[in-house]
Structure 1
Amino acid sequence: MYQFLISNRDELIARCRAKVAGRSPPGTAGEELKHGITVFLDQVIKTLALERTADPMRSRKVSGRSGGGKPALSEIGESAAQHGKELMQHGFTVEEVVHDYGDLCQAITDLAFKQDAAISIDEFRTLNRCLDNAIANAVTEFGYQRDSVVADQQAHALNERLGFFAHELRNQLCTATLALSVIKGGSVGLGGATGVVLDRALVGLSNLIDRSLAEVRMTAGLPLHNRLFSVVDFLAELKLSASLEADVRGCKLNVSSVDPQLALDVDRDLILAAAGNLLQNAFKFSHPHSEVTLNAYAMADRVLIDVEDQCGGLPPGDAEKMFEAFTQGAEDRSGLGLGLSISRRSIEANGGILSVRNVPGSGCVFTIDLPRHSVSRSRAVPVPPSG
C-alpha cells in the first residue's frame, strides 16, 4: 500500500476533492481542505513508511494508537481536529465530516481494485487505525465548536433580553422615584398629576415583574399547577387588578356577566398573567377615553375570553407578527415586546389557543380559548365535545 499511495497520490486527492465539492454548501471556498484529505493522506503514507523501519512503533506518534485517546495527541489527531473545526466554520454537517474521511477509504479501495494492487491485511489495519483516529478527533472537535457557537448564541440572546428588561425596569423605577420625591416635597399631592405618574410607574413595574415570572416558568419547563375555579371569580380578579391601569390610561373597562357555573381547570397564575397582559396591551394601545371590553362566554366544550380594544385596527398582515418576541407594532414602544409571545406560550401549555382578530377602523379582539368545565363541589366536570 505504501508504494501504491505514493504512486497514486494525486489521483486519490482528485477523486476525494470531487466528492467533497459535490457536497459543499454553495459558495464554500477550498479552505475546508487545508487540514483535510491532502494532509491526512500524507500522514498515512508517513505512518506506513515508519512501520517499514526497525522501530515500527514510532508510527504511533503520527497515527495514534488503536482506539485513539490520550496520553498524547498524534499528528493525525491534531490535524483532524483542525479539519473538524474548519468544516464546522464552513457550514458542513457532522455527517459530512465522517464522509470526508470515508471518501479517501473508498477512493483507495476502488483504485486498488481497478489496478489490481495487492494490499496486505496489516496495511488495511493501519489504514483503519488512521481513519478511526482521524474521524474521532474531527467529530469531537466539530461537536465542541458547534456547542460553543450554540452557547454563544444563547448567551447573546439572554444578555439582550436581560438588557431590555433592566432598561425598562430602570425607566419605571426612575419615574416612580422622581414622582415620589416631588410628592414628598409637599408642593403636590397624591391626587394630582404627579400622583398619576407615580401610579403609572408602579403599575408598569408590577406588569413587568408578572410577565417575567410567567416567562421564567415557561422557559424553565416547570410543571403546571391546575385547579378548578369559576370564570366569574377569575373575571372579578382581573377587573380588580386592571382597574388601576384603566384609570391611569384614561380608559373605561367593561366586564360582561358570566354564567356562574362556567369554570376552568388550568394553571390559574399563568392564565391570569396572560389575560392580564392582554388587558395591559389593550389599555396601552387604545385611544384615550375609549373603552376596553373583557367578555367571557361558552361555546360547545370551550370557554372563550375576549379582550377587545380600540386601537384603531392593524395594518394588513400584522396580526400574527404581534406574537413574535421583541415585536412592537405601535408608536408606544415602552415594554419589551415579549408579553404576547409569553401569553401565547402560557395559554398553549394549558391546552388553549390565543388568537387575534382585527376589526379595521375599530381595534383588535384577542381571544383565549380553553377547555370548558363546570363548577362542582368536589371535582372538575369537563363538558364533553359536541358532535
Structure 2
Amino acid sequence: MMHDFLSNNRDDLIERCRVKVAHRPARGATVEQLQNGVPLFLDQLIQTLRIEQTVEPMDSRKISGPSSGEPSFSAIGMSAAQHGRQLLELGFSVDQVVHDYGDLCQAITDLAYERDAPFQIDEFRTLNRCLDNAIADAVTEFSYQRDSASTDKHVEEMNERLGSLAHELRNFLQTATLAFTAAKTGNLSLSGATGSVLERSLDGLRDLIDHSLTDVRLSAESPKPAQLFSLTEFIGEIKRAAELAARAHGCVFTVSHVDADLAVCANRDLLFSALGNLLQNAFKFTHLHTEVTLDAYAVAGRILIDVKDHCGGLSATDVESMFEPFRQNGVDRTGLGLGLSIARRSVQASDGILSVRDIPDTGCVFTISLPRHAMVLQ
C-alpha cells in the first residue's frame, strides 16, 4: 500500500526534498518556515490514502479536496494556501512554489523505483489529485498576496506623492502669506525685496499646480536639465525668502559670506526646494530665540551648504530614520513629515548628497554636498 510506503519512508522523502531545495538559488528557507509545505502535505496524503481503503472512501475528499478543480475548504487546500503565503514572504517566485510540490512527487517516484515498491493505479490517481489541488491553492494564494502587496505599495507611493505636493504647496503659501503680511503691516512697496519673495512664492504655487495636473505625463518625461548659476545669488535669494519665516518662528537667522566665484550646476528649482525645506525644518525645531545659520563654501572639489540649528541634538535613531517619508521625530507634529524626504530626493536629482550630523546637547547640521564649479567670466 502506498500509505504504508510513505509512512515508513517519511523522513527519507522529506530529506530528499530538502536536498533538492538546497540546490536551487534563492531557497534559503528553514524546515520550520516551510512546515506547511512538504512535511504537512505528506502527512495529509498518507491520511487521504488510508481513508480511501475504508468503507467510506469519499470521506478522504475532506482532506484532499475533489478532483474537479472546484474551490473547496479541504485540509490540503488550506495548508497549501498558507504555504504559498510563506513562500511569498521569503521572496520565492511562483515557479518555485510549483517546484516545492513537484520535488515530493519526484522523490516518491525515485524512492519507489529504488525499493521496487508496487503501487495501484488508484493510488497514483490520489497522489496526482492531492498534488494538483495543493499546487493550485498554493499558487492562487501566492498570486493573490503578491498582487495585494503590489496594490498596497502603489497606494503608499501615491499617498507619498500627494503628501509631497501638499507639503510643497503649503510651504509656498506660508511664505507668500508672510510676505503679504509684512508688506501690509509695514506699508511696503511690492517692488522691493518683500515683493520679490511674494512673487516667487506665487510662481511656485502656480508651477506646482501645473505639475499636479499633468503628473502622469511629466512622470514619463526627462527631468529638467541642470544649469550653471551663481552660488552667491542663489544663497541671497534663499536668504530673502527665509528671513520672514525665521522672524515668524522667533529665531535669529545668520547667513555667512559666499565666495562670488563659486557656482553650482544643478536643477535650480529642485535645489531651492531642498534648501528651503531644510531651513523650514530648522526654524521649526530650533529652540526659541536661538540661532539658525546658513553657510555655503567650497572644500576641495565639492560645494557644501550647511544649515545649523539649536534643536538640542539628535538621537541615533533620529539620524537613521529622519529622511524616511512621513517620519516626524520632534514634539511639533504639524506638517506631514515629508520635508526631509523631499529635500533628499531633490538633492540627489542634482547629483548631490544630503547628510546630517549631530552636535550633542546643542543641535544638528544638515549638509548638501554638490560638485564644485566656478562662474565663467564674460
Question: Is the shorter-chain TM-score for this pair beyond 0.5, marking a shared fold?
Answer: yes
SS of aligned partner of 2:330: coil
Q: Which residue of structure 2 lines up, in the alignment, with residue 86 of structure 1?
A: 82
Query: Which residue identity is paired with 1:231?
Result: L
**2:327 is aligned with what amino acid?**
T
- Runs of 5+ consecutive residues of structure 2 not aligned to the other structure: 20-27, 52-64, 187-197
SS of the residue corresponding to residue 355 of structure 2 reads strand
1:5 to 2, 9, 22: 2
Match for residue 155 of structure 1? 155
Confirm or deny: 8 A CA contact 1:25 1:92 kept in the other structure.
Answer: no
Question: For residues 93-116 of structure 1, what are the alpha-carbon distances to aligned partners after superposition, in whole Å with 9 as ceiling and x for unaligned?
Answer: 546633531342233124313322
Give the Å deviation of 1:355: 1.6
Task: Give the 5 Å matches for 1:104-143.
Answer: 104-117=104-117, 135=135, 138-143=138-143
TM-score (normalizing by structure 1): 0.62
SS of residue in 2 equivalent to 1:155: helix
Show the 5 A alignment for 1:294-305: 294-305=294-305
| Alpha-carbon distance change, 141 to 321 in structure 1, aligned in 2, over 3 angstroms | closer
Task: Quote the offset at 1:239 in angstroms.
Answer: 1.4
Q: How does 1:274-353 map to 2 (within 5 A)?
A: 274-315=274-315, 318-353=318-353
1:354·1:367 contact (CA, 8 Å) conserved in 2? yes
Which region of structure 1 is more displaced relative to structure 2, 24-33 or 355-364? 24-33
Distance in 2 separating the partners of 1:34 and 1:107: 13
In the aligned structure 1, how far is the partner of 2:168 from the partner of 2:346? 22
Task: State the shift of 1:308 in Å.
Answer: 1.5
Amino acid of the structure 2 residue aligned with 1:271 = L
Shift of 1:275: 0.5
Please give the per-residue CA displacement for 1:282-324, whole angstroms capped at 9, x wherever unaligned: 1112233333221111111111011122223334664334323
Aligned to 1:51: none
Assess, with a 3 A threshold, how the Cα gap between structure 1 residues 246 and 140 changes in structure 2: closer, same or farther.
Answer: same
8 Å Cα contact 1:37/1:100 also seen in 2: no
Q: How many percent identity over aligned positions?
A: 46
Question: Deviation of residue 230 (structure 1)?
Answer: 1.5
Q: 1:358 to 1:24 in 2, by over 3 A?
A: closer
State whether residues 313 and 363 of structure 2, in contact with CA within 8 Å, keep that contact through their aligned partners in structure 1.
Answer: yes
After superposition, the C-alpha distances for 1:189-243 in whole angstroms (9 at most, x for unaligned) are: 9649xxxxxxxxx9xx99x989x99x999x9686432222221221122112212
Is the CA contact 1:16–1:103 (under 8 Å) kept in the aligned structure 2?
Answer: no
User: Structure 1 residues 151 and 127, CA, compared in 2 at 3 Å: closer, same or farther?
Assistant: same
Secondary structure at the aligned position of 1:319 is classed as helix
Aligned position for 2:100: 100
1:246–1:283 contact (8 Å) kept in structure 2: yes
Q: 1:88 to 1:126 in 2, by over 3 A?
A: closer
Distance 1:269 1:82, change over 3 A: farther
CA separation in 2, counterparts of 1:132 and 1:73? 8
User: What code does the residue aligned with 1:331 have?
Assistant: V
Q: Which amino acid aligns with 1:85?
A: A
Q: Distance in 1 between matches of 2:45 and 2:4?
A: 16
User: In structure 2, how many angstroms separate the alpha carbons of the residues matched to 1:74 and 1:230?
Assistant: 70
Paired residues of 1:295 and 1:306 also in contact (CA < 8 A): yes
State the alpha-carbon separation in 2 of the partners of residues 44 and 333 from structure 1: 62
TM-score by length of 2: 0.64
1:335 shift after superposition: 1.7
- Secondary structure of 2:332's counterpart equals coil
What do the CA deviations read for 1:300-354 (whole angstroms, capped 9, x no partner)? 1111011122223334664334323333333322222221122123222322111
8 Å CA contact retained: 1:305, 1:367? yes
Q: 2 CA distance for matches of 1:106 and 1:294?
A: 69
Matched-pair contact (CA < 8 Å) for 1:81–1:141: no
SS, match of residue 254 in structure 2 = strand
Name the CA shift for 1:275/1:44 in 2 (closer, same or farther; >3 Å).
farther
Q: Aligned partner of 2:307: which letter? A: V
Q: CA RMSD in A?
A: 5.3
Give, in whole Å, the separation in 1 of the partners of 2:368 and 2:324. 17
Residues 311, 364 of structure 2: 8 Å contact kept: yes
Instruction: Give the partner amino acid of 1:265.
Output: C
Distance in 1 (alpha carbons) for counterparts of 2:43 and 2:114: 22
Find the aligned partners of 1:166 and 1:228 in 2 and give their Cα distance.
29
Q: Which moved more, 1:28-37 or 1:133-142?
A: 28-37
Tell me by how many angstroms 1:168 deviates.
12
Distance 1:29 1:7 in 2: 24
Distance in structure 1 (CA, Å) of the matches to 2:337 and 2:184: 31
Structure 2: distance between partners of 1:269 and 1:168: 12
Worse overlay, 291-300 or 100-109: 100-109
